[in-house]
Each structure stands twice: as C-alpha cells, then as structure tokens.
Structure 1
Amino acid sequence: MASFNWGKCFETGLPTVDEQHRILVDLINHYGQLLTAGERVTGEEMAAVLQQLTAYAGYHFDEEEILMTQAGLDPRHIEQHKHFHADFLQEVTLMKAGLEQGQTKTEHILKFLTYWLAYHILGTDQSMARQMSVMAAGQSAQQAYLADQEEQESATEPLLLALNGLFQQINQRNRELRELNQSLEVKVQQRTQALRLANEQLEQLATTDALTGLPNRRLLEDRLHQAMATSQRSGHWGALMFLDLDNFKPLNDTQGHEMGDLLLIEVARRLKAGVRQIDSVARIGGDEFVVLLNQLDLDKSRSDAQALSVAEKLRISLAAPYVLCSKHAGQSDTRLEHHCSASIGVLVFNGTQKSQAEILQGADAAMYQAKAAGRNRVQFAAA
C-alpha cells in the first residue's frame, strides 16, 4: 500500500514541477515499502534511500528557485519559499543522523516526509503556480502575491490537515528526544557537531565550485541579484564579465585532466588577485569564469572606463605563461609551461535597465563576440 496517494488535487498545472513531485512521491513510497519489509532491510539501505530522496529534493528545490526567479515572482514569496526549502533539508539531515545513531524511528521519518510533501504541494507550490498564472494574465508580481493571500483562505482545510500531521510528527520526535537518558548527553553533543559540519559541507557544496573553491552559478546569480538591488538604490553602476579561456582544450586533450585542473586553479587565483574584495569571481563550468564588479562610478562613461581597465588587467594577467607542476608520490615531478589567453565579454549595468537574465545573456554574447573577433581581447556588450 502506498504511503502517499497522488491525486488531481496535488497538481499545480506546471508540468515540470508536477513531474518532479511524482518522483518525490515514488521515492517516499519506496521508503515506505522498505519499512514494511521489516528485518529484511538494513538500516544502511534505509539511509541510502533517504539520502537519494534528500538529493533529489535538493535538485527539485534548485529548479523551483530558478523558475520563481525567472518568472519574476514577488520577493516575499521567493524568500518564504526558499526558507521552506532550507528548513526541510535541515530537518531531514537531522533525522538521517538520528536514524544512523538509532535515535530516530524509521516510521516517524516516513510520516514526516508524507506530511511535508502534502504541505509542500498544497501550500507553497500551488501558491507559486497560482501567482504565475495571475502574472501571465497581465497583473504585477505584487498584485499576484496579494491576490494569492486571499485565495489561500479557500485552501485552509486541506492545509490544516497536512500541517496537523506534520506538527504531530515533529512533536512525537521532540518527545522522544526529551526522554533520552542523561547519559547520552555526550553522544548528543557529538551528533550536533556532526550535523553542524554536515550543514556547512552541504552549504559549501551547494554554492561553491569543488575544484577552485570559487562561487558557482547559483551563488553568482544570488550575488548579481544583490548587486542589481544595491545599484538601483545607490545609483552606482556595476559590471559583469564573462571570461572563456582560448587555449584550454588542447592542454586538457594532450596533457590530461590533471594539468587542465591545475590551469583552472591558477586562473582562479589570478582572477581573485586582480579584483577588489567587494567584487566576486565565479566559475560556472568548464573553462568559463565570471567576474562581478560592484560599486563602480555614478557616471556611465567613467564606469565603462573602470570596467575596461579591470578587464584589460585581467586579460594581461591571464595571458602570462603558466608553469604547471604535477606531483605523484614515488615519481619525479612533471613540469609544463603553457600559454593561454582569455576572451572577455563585459556588460555594465545599473540595476534598472536590464533584467538579471538579460545581463547574463548580454555578457555571455559579448564574450563570444570577442572570441569570434580573434580571441585574447575585451568586448563590451551592445548598449
């Protein structure tokens, strides 16, 4: 018997979101099936399924947050939605740790997941879908948000049922924690420390590039959103630069990925050394990097000049020879000198004339223009 029975009432009308919800339902039901198998299933198998569900939920959350941002929903809804996502990941991480240490019962986790998914769909996701529908009809994000607050009154009953089950599950878990013997205090402290480290690692994995330690695309987009808001308030211009290495693939193909990784790490170091502390450097994939300049001049022409100065400084720095050294235990070091340049696309923005997507696309297009024009050069985006 399924733990979660999918029905039409759970549909949002957004095909991709609904499909991802069905996958979450399948994972929760699979967890429930393992639970009914009793002693035939090990705790490690249960933990593995829970980890798979958590990973897919994280992917689903990322997709939803991108969808909300691209749709331009009211910031209040986006903030509430993101907090809900973060709270769920934190709670499941805590439950998973408790399961591994024998302090959380598997059936309580199943109840929590079932109630959570019901509220996730009936509450936050259907609210998101309703607001997108209202905006598609021509109303503003603020109007859609306020209209949905009134609409939610008609959905109170099913939401209360889901919330009631959710709170019962959390209360049950809290009662079990209070009943723990005082002799487990040290063990609880150890678990808390492990959870803190796990959360830090989860946050780092979610927002940074594993190879270079730079912010990834997700964190870059958050910082660009903040930079646009700051620019709009202060009047100062900002600039976004897309950089693509011109001679990376031959190195990677002929000398192997290790040498390619060493080059990318050195490129990241040079880029960070070439900008201010208030600026950001990100790696968004492969040999593509992005530089975000904050708080340029109040004047557009002077801001253009500042951005060009930084871009040329970075271009010259990246064009300097690279000495790459690969070290292996018991073997002599492998040293290689490599020459590599970069094509740089620049877009100067003030937070009001272009959307975030337009800024990203404009800088990217300018970078490809620089590459097409002969590489190792700086190209500004068209006004």
Structure 2
Amino acid sequence: MPTPDAASDTGDVFVWDTTLLTGLDEVDAQHHHLVDLFNTLNRAMFHGRALSPDQQQRIFDELIAYARQHFEDKERLMADAGVDVRHRELHARLHHEFVEQVRSMWDARGHLRQPGDTLMGFLTSWLGLHIMGVDQSMARQMARIRAGADPAEAWAQEEDPLDRRVANLLRMVGQLYHVLAAQNQDLLEANARLEQRVRERTAELEAANRRLEAFSRIDGLLGIANRGYFDERLREEIARHTRQARPLAVVMFDVDHFKRYNNRYGHQAGDACLQAVARALKGEVYRAPDLLARYGGEELVALLVDTDAGGARVVAERAVAAVRALALPHADSPTAPVVTVSAGVGSMVPHAPDDGPRLLRQADAALYAAKQAGRNRAMVASGGGEVDPTRTS
C-alpha cells in the first residue's frame, strides 16, 4: 500500500499503482482522481510554498465534495448491480464515517502536533484500505453476480479459504482503524469542549478584570472617580489638549467647615453629607468627557475638557448654588445655616506634560482665595500663583 513518504520530492503522498485497481473503469478513474486531490492538498499545505488558508480550504472543500459524489456513484452502482444489502450497508457506513472523521481532523489541524503527517497519513491509509478491502470485495461480488451468482452467494464467497488470510488481515486492520478513529473523534470532541470552557472562562476573567478595573477607579463612599483615576485622566487630557492647543479647566471644591459638621452631627451624617454634595456636583458636571472625582477628604475636583476660564466659572457657580440648594442643616457653620462649598477655577491651554501640576496649583490658589473671601462662592485664578502655605481648611 502507498505510504505518506512516497514520492516526497514532488509533494505526492499517494502514488497510484495497479494494486489499487478494481476492474471497474468508472470506479478506478474516480479513485485515481481522489489520489490526485490528496496530493494537491498535500502540496498546498506542506510542500514548497504553502497556499493561503482560504486557498487550502477551497481545495479541501473540493476534495470532500468529490468524495461525496464518488461515494454516491458507487452506492448507486452497487444497488443497480444487486450487491447484497449487507455489503451495501457496510460500504455506506464506511463512507459516512470517512467524511465525518476527515472533517473533524481538518477542523482540528491547528491543534495537531504534526498536522501534515496526521491528516495525509489518515487520508492515504483510509483510501488504500478501503480500495483493497471493501471496494475490491464489491468488484468481485459484482463479477460473480454478472456471471449468474445470487447476491447472497456472491457475498458468502468472500469467505473463500484462499482469500481468508488476506480478508482477516484487512478486517483486523480495519478494526484497528475504527478503534483509532473513534478514539481520535473522542479526543477531538473533548478538545472542542475544553476550548469552549477556556473561551467561557476567558470571557468571565475579562469581565471580572473590567469590573475590577472600574472598581479600582471609583471612590467607595461617593461612587465617583477616585484620586488615582483623576490623576491618570489629567495626564491624558494635558497631552491631548497640548497637541490640539485647546483650553482645559480644573475646578476644585471644598465643603465649608466640614470638620465642624462631623463634630456636630457625627461621622455617619458626615458621610451622607459628602454623598449628597457629590450628587449635587455631578448634576452640574454632566458632560460625558468631563470627570468629577474625590480629591481627598472633603475635597472634590472636576476636570472640564475643552473649557476656558469663563465656561469653567459658570459650571463652578452653578455647582456652588446646587449644593446650597440642598439645604442640609449646618448649625455650626459661621458661613451659612446650611452646608455650602467653595470652588476654585484654573484654566489654561497647556504647552507641556508638566502643565498638569501647574493647572492644579491655579485651581487650588483660586479655592484658597474663595475661602479667604468668605466661602460659599467660586473664584477664578488670575495668574496661576502658588498656594499660600499657611492656608487652613
């Protein structure tokens, strides 16, 4: 029987010879064409310059389509000749198993250690065994029927003692093939299930990582961005606005006399107060690209993209008014009987990556000025000076 190593210099893994003839011209011609298709597929995949995956797929599809047509022609030929139904059923089952098995191996070729040797070894071994076994048996039975034998008698004569040793050998090899094919199919199905589980676990892990990443950017108490994420976004926006020569603004907020509020109403009430303030500020910092974050303690900060000082001042003043409108009692505040915030605005067209800290200093200086002016108001930095080191909250 031909081996996968035959005629390797030409890329042929199957060499046609007279031992494969059945004596049925149409069947032999189709077998020869199948051999040619096997060799074409082998050359396309593994010999010389491999073709693209799409081109390989087209050759494989042509091979499967031709094999199906050959099997149908042969099954019709057996029926027309009156071959015993037992042989016809066996023959048809082997045809079906071949198509299913070779498709499974083709689909799994990316996971095989040596896909060329495995796939081509299977194709050549299967066709050789099939021709020398059931196909030549079919031809002999058809010859007996043409000579006048009954189909059942023609089938029974396949057990002639002269052919029994060869028949037994082919039968044992065929049984070994079936065992290995079934085992291979089980492995392919197990591998497919494993791949599916890996895909599912990977998707779950990616979703968990996204949730973890989102959680790592959020302040647990206020439900808005935390300081780390604000710093990250500030660096990104400084770089973008530097490239585009666009204004970028920062507004810093501080809850007026918050320590007194905590001392008067308790820490739980203080937490609830900060949450209410964050919601009020979020209602004014509502554009999708903008960001509201907790900067530390009772300080919050807004990052306003593509916004000059005038636009940022409008946002800051509305935010101050929104917090005042909450009317949260603050009996110990010397500023107002309700909770209020002060706001400082900084804005610039950045020119360098280190302009982020300078923008924050502007906003912080303006916040300090707002507190010095009586709190419960928003002020805009006039020049970007440093924060007074003697400043207190």
Provide TM-score, normalisation by structure 1: 0.43
* Structure exhibiting the larger radius of gyration computed from Cα positions: 2
